[in-house]
Amino acid sequence: MEEKIMNGKKNGMVVLLLNFVAVIASIVGIVFGGIMVEDNKSPLLLVGSIILCTVTCFIWAGLRVLAPQEALVLTLFGKYIGTIKEAGFYFVNPFCSAVNPAAKTHLNQSGDVNTKNMTGTTEASTKKISLKVMTLNNNRQKINDCLGNPVEIGIAVTWRITDTAKAVFNVDNYKEFLSLQCDSALRNIVRIYPYDVAPNVDTTGDGIADEGSLRGSSDTVANRIKDEIQERVNEAGIEIVDARITYLAYASEIAAVMLQRQQASAIIDARKMIVDGAVGMVEMALERLNEKEIVELDEERKAAMVSNLLVVLCGNHDAQPIVNSGSLY
């Protein structure tokens, strides 16, 4: 289905004024026609005025107003005749009907807010299609990453309609279609990555292990999700502007265990750094003692000194100094 843009229909104000004049003329004609019929005169004026009044009622149905960034998809007896996109006051064929299959669909996104009028009742859904950029916040999903760990993740997808004909006629409901494709694309991409960096995991498909992860490569993951969704919704005339991860965490059933694992990994990394620094300081101390020739130590005393320094430098608590008043030997 190809989109047809309707131009040159912005004459609603002229038709409105002419129709208003026709309504007044028909009312006057009905009054005078009724008087003429009572006087046994020709009823042509009365009949013509009634016909004119009936025609004006149909003309009101052809007046349409469009705000900026709105579109109206029109069909005539089931045939698609075109789309009006430019803002203005239009007059179209009164028998044309606007089509928007997603008018009553309300998702967790911008543009789907139920507005209420002064009486407190919800206003009827419009058949106009919004061309504005909208944001879809899909519900959080529980998905297993590439290591089988359950992860809860949520995304926000920014989108807009670029082809109204495809959006209306190629899919049953373009809002629900977009939401389902977002869920499906999210699952396909998340299954490729681990939550955190893991060894021997290939996330790019080139056969080489890399350091890609959901937590550390969020921009890369978001771009892949965006491309995946765009490929799926092209047939619906939808453009995906952006896709971002809004929530990412381990599932509640393993969150505590994974937190302990992260804490253990952090402790090991910290200890490794402390030990590396302590060994460097001991090495530097021994070299300085030899250079200054302050004291000569045999191998046994060097080993004892190294042991004491490592205990002091790597201990969790501050060392308590002991003064040696005797001989070192």
Q: What is the pLDDT of residues 155-174, one digit of tens each?
A: 999 999 999 999 999 999 99
Over residues 220-237, mean pLDDT: 93
Q: What is the pLDDT of residue 169?
A: 93
- Spatial contact of 70 and 128, defined as CB atoms under 8 Å apart: yes
Question: What pLDDT shows up at residue 238?
Answer: 95
If pLDDT is split at 50, 70 and 90, which confidence band does 122 have? very low
206 pLDDT tier (thresholds 50, 70, 90): confident
Distance of CA 51 to the CA centre of its chain: 53
Contact of 220 with 174, CB cutoff 8 Å: no
pLDDT of 99-121, one tens digit each? 999 888 888 776 665 544 433 43
Which pLDDT score, from 0 to 100, does residue 22 have?
A: 86
Q: What are phi and psi of 129, to 5 degrees?
A: -105, 125
Task: Check residues 125 and 153 and name the one with the higher pLDDT.
Answer: 153
Q: Which CATH number fits domain 129-250: 3.40.50.300, 3.30.479.30, 3.40.50.720, 3.40.50.1580?
A: 3.30.479.30
pLDDT at 324: 54
* Average pLDDT of span 167-183: 92
pLDDT on residue 116: 46
pLDDT, tens digit, 9 for 90 and up, residues 33-60: 777 766 667 678 778 888 888 888 888 8
Instruction: Judge whether residue 284 has pLDDT over 90.
Output: no
Q: Which of 122, 129, 125, 14 is nearest to 67 (CA)?
A: 129
Best CA proximity match to 136, nearest among 155, 113, 117 = 155
> How much is the pLDDT for 250?
85
Extents of the domains making up the chain: 12-98, 129-250, 264-314
Please report the pLDDT score of residue 251 as a whole number: 83
Give the lowest-confidence range in 17-26, 127-136, 317-326.
Answer: 317-326
Residue 123's pLDDT is: 40
Q: Say what percent of the chain tops pLDDT 70.
A: 81
pLDDT at 300 over 90: no
Residue 253 is predicted with a pLDDT of 76
Residue 318 confidence class, pLDDT cut points 50, 70, 90: low
- Quote the pLDDT of residue 39: 66
Q: What is the pLDDT of residue 163?
A: 93
Instruction: State the sign of the Cα–Cα–Cα–Cα dihedral 246, 251, 255, 258.
Output: negative
pTM attached to this predicted model? 0.70
For residues 298 and 239, the model is more confident at 239
Select the more confidently predicted residue: 141 or 275. Answer: 141
